[in-house]
Amino acid sequence: SDAFTYDPGFTSTASCESKITFIDGDKGILLHRGYPIDQLAEQSSFLETCYLLLHGELPSASAFEQFETTITRHTMLHEQFDRFFSGFRRDAHPMAIMTGAVGALSAFYHDSLDIQDEKQREISAHRLIAKMPTIAARAFKYSVGQPFVYPKNDLSYSENFLRMCFAVPAEDYVPNPVLTKAMDRIFILHADHEQNASTSTVRLAGSSGANPFACIAAGIACLWGPSHGGANEEALNMLKEIGTVDKIPEFIQGVKDRKYKLMGFGHRVYKNYDPRAKVMQTTCHEVLSAVGDPNDPLLQVARELERIALSDEYFVSRKLYPNIDFYSGITLSAMGFPTTMFTVLFALARTVGWIAQWKEMIEDPSQKIGRPRQLYTGSAQRDFVPISGRA
Ligand code: CMC
């Protein structure tokens, strides 16, 4: 018989077994391959975390050197690829460009279509991690009407990315070390988050045997939504709209009256402080002290909003705590990124999580094509009526 469990939003359905990321939402714990996120954010680098997520263990010095060299070798894009960018409208949202451009990588790397070949899977993972900064930086440069900057491979992953975004050709651009560190940390904080909407999308797309570039493009499309990766953009817009601390009570009342949500608050899994939000808050202070205004009115609004929300019955009873997006918007904005780039940076960092989860799924013999069932609530069977006989 057709007896299904009805679970809208998959709040109580596990879709897979995974060894990559562990979350305890009640305690506010996030571990990658067993390592706490705050230790990785403090002591690791993004590329090392990529290796960890992909391979399951931290690399030895020589394994890391080889991994770094491999990633560095894959950062270039084919010159033909640049024509994609010029095909978009000047004011195209960079996420629209990302969705199209990353999917199009499969048109350049036909060998990646052989997903049963372990070597090809690994090369595709390397290509994606290596090329995402180049594609993301070009989406940004295109939106501001500046010429593309080519990767410079003697720089670190994050330095290279900042240079491709902010250097103007012929100028000697050296990223501020505080910003490089912040960028790397922001990438680590976004690297993976188990079976969230975009990762589940990647797995579902991949379960049919689709190629990895197509699957990651599907993940990017899902991430774009304001309830997911688009929330940091929304959170900053909200802080700007509130503007000053004295407007907060009125704003909070609007949330309670359910006119709108407090963006950057709440999480499906964390019913405690998001451990990433703590690191993000520290990073925010470091960046503002280095390049912004530590007394930035938006930061004041954010702090006061957080203080009120953490003591207000409405938020406390619903276990609504700040999530990673609450402080990332202010930080990225101080670093020079327009709001339209926020989700792009999230996509860049999450690519390693997506591809690690995709690989794990392909290599798991128990995985089948994803095919949820439904509870049908439409019309019962009836006979077709010719158009002349319809009311
Ligand atoms: N502001 C005000 N009320 C909220 C909020 C919020 N941000 N989030 C949840 N609630 C209320 C909600 O109205 C409901 O109240 P009630 O029980 O009275 O109907 C209760 O809290 C439970 O919420 P829910 O909608 O059942 O929770 P969910 O697990 O379906 O939603 C969420 C999780 C993240 C989509 C939601 O909290 C939200 O929309 N937050 C704002 C957007 C945001 O910051 N998203 C970023 C998430 S972290 C990064 C990422 O995953 O991309």
Q: Give the residues across from 32 on adjacent strands.
A: 21, 35
Which residue type does 367 have? Answer: Q
Tokens 């560095």 belong to which residue? 72
Q: How confident is the model at residue 27 (pLDDT cuts 50, 70, 90)?
A: very high
CA 262–ligand 1 middle distance (angstroms): 8
CA 268–ligand 1 middle distance (angstroms): 7
Residue 193 CA, closest ligand 1 atom number:
51
Contact (CB, 8 A) for 46 and 55: no
Q: How confident is the model at residue 2 (pLDDT cuts 50, 70, 90)?
A: low
Which of 356, 364, 390, 391 minimizes the C-alpha distance to 125?
356
**Ligand 1 contact via 332 beta carbon (within 6 Å):** no
CB contact set of 182 (below 8 Å; sequence gap of 6+) = 283, 286, 287, 331, 335
Number of other CB atoms surrounding residue 59 within 10 Å: 18
Task: Flag the least confident range among 31-35, 130-134, 203-207, 318-322.
Answer: 318-322
Ligand 1 atom 21 nearest Cα: 318
Which of 214, 226, 148, 176 minimizes the C-alpha distance to 354?
214
What sign does the dihedral 361-365-370-373 (CA atoms) show? negative
Q: Give the residues across from 189 on adjacent strands.
A: none
Distance, in Å, from the CA atom of 351 to the CA atom of 267, rounded to the nearest integer, reads: 21
Ligand 1 atom 31 nearest Cα: 268
pLDDT at 207: 97
**Ligand 1 contact via 276 beta carbon (within 6 Å):** no
Query: Tokens standing for 164?
Result: 């491709």
Q: How many CA atoms lie within 13 A of 264 on its CB side?
A: 26
Q: How confident is the model at residue 70 (pLDDT cuts 50, 70, 90)?
A: very high
Which residue type does 100 have? Answer: G
**Ligand 1 contact via 350 beta carbon (within 6 Å):** no
Distance, in Å, from the CA atom of 220 to the CA atom of 198, rounded to the nearest integer, reads: 7
Q: Give the residues across from 36 on adjacent strands.
A: 31
Q: Is the pLDDT assigned to residue 1 strictly greater than 60?
A: no
pLDDT at 120: 95
Tokens 């007394």 belong to which residue? 295
**Ligand 1 contact via 227 beta carbon (within 6 Å):** yes
Which residue type does 215 have? Answer: C
Query: Tokens standing for 125?
Result: 């993972």
Query: Exposure string (b/e) for 319-336, b if CB count within 10 Å is 16 or more?
Result: ebbbbbbbbbbbbbbbbe
CA 170 to each of CA 82, 136, 147: distance values in angstroms, whole numbers, following the listed order: 20, 21, 11
**Ligand 1 contact via 244 beta carbon (within 6 Å):** no
What is the signed CA dihedral for 144, 149, 155, 161, rounded to 10 degrees?
Answer: 30
Q: Which residues are catalytic?
A: 267, 325
Q: Is the pLDDT assigned to residue 327 strictly greater than 80?
A: yes
User: Percent of the chain beyond pLDDT 70?
Assistant: 99
pLDDT at 125: 97
Task: Flag the least confident range among 60-74, 114-128, 159-173.
Answer: 159-173
Q: How confident is the model at residue 174 (pLDDT cuts 50, 70, 90)?
A: confident
Average pLDDT over all residues of the chain: 93
Mutate which of 261, 312, 317 for ligand 1 pocket (most atoms within 8 A of beta carbon): 261
Alpha helix stretches (DSSP H) within 266-296? 275-291
Q: Is the pLDDT assigned to residue 369 strictly greater than 70?
A: yes
Please give the ipTM for the structure prediction: 0.93
Say which DSSP state 245 is in: G
**Ligand 1 contact via 196 beta carbon (within 6 Å):** yes
Average pLDDT over residues 100-125: 93
Q: Is 21 helix (H, G, I), strand (E, B) or coil?
A: strand
CA 100–ligand 1 middle distance (angstroms): 29
**Ligand 1 contact via 271 beta carbon (within 6 Å):** no
Ligand 1 atom 18 nearest Cα: 318
Residue 346 CA, closest ligand 1 atom number:
52
pLDDT at 91: 87
Domain architecture of the chain: domains with CATH: 18-225+338-362 (1.10.580.10), 231-334 (1.10.230.10)
